[in-house]
Each structure stands twice: as C-alpha cells, then as structure tokens.
Amino acid sequence: MPVMIRRTPWAEMARLNREMAERFAEEGGARTYRLALNAYETDEAIVISAAVPGLEPEDIHINLEDDVLTIDGEFKSNIEDVNYLLRERADEGRFHRSLRLNVPVDVEKIEAVFNNGILTLTVPKAPEARPTTIPVKKIAN
C-alpha cells in the first residue's frame, strides 16, 4: 500500500533558514563564516580537517579550552570592485568554528598540520579514553 508523505513548503523554508543561520553567524556586527569541517575518530585520536585555501599557517588560530576546540581566522581577498557572476566559495571574511570534544584528550600531544590549503588536527585521546581489550583467562581444573 502506498504511503503518502505530507510536505509543507513552509517547513522546508524554515529548515533552510536554520541551516543558513548556522552556516553564517553574526559576530560583533560582522558576518562570520562557519568553517566546514570533516571529523572522524580512531581508537587513538580524533582527526579534524578543514579546507582553508589561500591562508598561511600563522593566519589560523586554534584554541582548546575545557573540552571545546576552536578554529578562527580570516580569508582576505585581494580582488576589489568586482561584479561576481557566481560566488559560491567563502574566500573573504572571518571564519570561526567550535567543536566540543566528547572524550578526554592528551593536550600536550595535539598536532596541527597545514598542507596544500588543508588544515589537519590530530587530537590524541587520553589513555583512559582509549579502548582496552581485557583477556579472558581459563581456570585450570
């Protein structure tokens, strides 16, 4: 039997509006881009990557406070007075992104690497947060 799904255009518009509000946030009156991230977890670490083309490593600021990792910076365009035909890429303005880490981490061993416009952070888990295999012993009769 076919199932009818009721769609409301206003709900779709509200969802799109929420997504846009999340992607672009207002900070101090200036528009700030919400930096897109990829993040995955291994047994040993959390790995986070972000595309930040055109920036130098010293233009990127990374902070870990409590269990919130924050990445800040600014894209600076050298193109002025242009009538764009299409503009989809964030290449101008501040960016900011915070990510709550849900496991204890080894702060002293966090590594940030910048290669070909990709920022990769490797955040090692604290030993107590890593999975442990417990062997089962057989008792001799």
Tens-digit pLDDT profile for residues 74-88: 988 777 788 888 877
Give the residue from 50, 59, 38, 41 showing the smallest Cα distance to 115. Answer: 50
- Domain span at residue 112? 24-78+86-128
Number of domains in the chain: 1
Q: What is the value of pTM for the model shown?
A: 0.69
Residue 9 lies inside a defined structural domain of this protein: no
Q: What is the pLDDT of residues 128-140, one digit of tens each?
A: 888 888 889 999 8
Q: What is the pLDDT of residues 24-69, one digit of tens each?
A: 554 455 567 888 999 999 999 999 999 998 888 999 999 999 899 9
CATH number for the domain harbouring residue 61 = 2.60.40.790
